[in-house]
Amino acid sequence: MFGSLIDELIDALRQLPGVGPKSAQRMALQLLERNRSGGARLAKALDAAMEGVGRCRQCRTFAESELCTICDSPRRDPSQLCVLETPVDLFAIEQAGTYRGRYFVLMGHLSPIDGVGPEQLGINQLMEQLQGGEVKELILATNLTVEGEATAHFISERAKPHGVTVSRIAHGVPLGGELEYVDGGTLAHAFTSRKPL
């Protein structure tokens, strides 16, 4: 419509999550009309990230070197290992600022229909880390979906022979939440997962 270069830019912007055709068009035209230096900076940052970001050899999250800054830090507790589905989950836990252990990022969850099995999630690599004896607690923080629960159960069963304590993150009513606004499924789960005081 606008020419091949502009159409390609619009189509490329549509790769971003939540960006539809109209939003991509507005972004492209904004960059071209009012912010060419910002567009050039964006292109340079994207190119550098696509070339320079790989995976941490220990936890599998995104990293610019062989080990990510968390795995490389002597301040992290190596006896705790938190298993997550995605790097976004890792960022969320880090922003909370209370967990001081290390991570293992699956980059997904078990989904036989989509061809995602234990090999794709690096579960053998996870079990190798448990064999070393340094990890005392494995914290399963997969999402509370059918696939996330199945993944957590699978990992739990595989981890038990390694003599580690396996725990699951708590879930239920959010802090500061009012019961009248909490959905039925969350309330039911909160009741079945209750703990004595």
**141: pLDDT strictly greater than 80:** yes
Check if the beta carbon of residue 75 is closer than 8 Å to that of residue 137.
no
Task: Enumerate the H helices of 132-183 as residue ranges.
Answer: 146-159
State CA 96 to chain mean position distance.
14
User: Can you tell me the distance from the alpha carbon of 83 to that of 103, in angstroms, rounded to the nearest whole number?
Assistant: 6
pLDDT of res. 180: 74
Question: Mean pLDDT in the chain?
Answer: 90
- pLDDT, one tens digit per residue, over 46-86 is 999 999 999 999 999 999 999 999 999 999 999 999 999 99
Of the candidates 109, 55, 111, the one whose C-alpha atom is nearest the C-alpha of residue 84 is 109
Element (H, E) at 25: helix 21-34
Residue 96 corresponds to which tokens in the numbers above? 């909370």
Q: Which CATH architecture has domain 77-168?
A: 3-Layer(aba) Sandwich (3.40)
All CATH 3.40.1360.10 domain ranges of the chain, comma separated, are 77-168
Residue that is written with structure tokens 């699951």 in the block: 168
pLDDT of res. 175: 73
Residue that is written with structure tokens 């957590």 in the block: 152
Q: What are phi and psi of 156, to 5 degrees?
A: -60, -45
pLDDT of res. 31: 93
pLDDT of res. 184: 78
All CATH 1.10.8.420 domain ranges of the chain, comma separated, are 4-52
| CATH number of the 4-52 domain | 1.10.8.420
User: Can you tell me the distance from the alpha carbon of 106 to that of 150, in angstroms, rounded to the nearest whole number?
Assistant: 13
**Helix (DSSP H) and strand (DSSP E) numbers for the chain:** 7, 6
pLDDT of res. 197: 60
Element (H, E) at 131: helix 123-131
pTM: 0.83
Residue 158 corresponds to which tokens in the numbers above? 């595989």
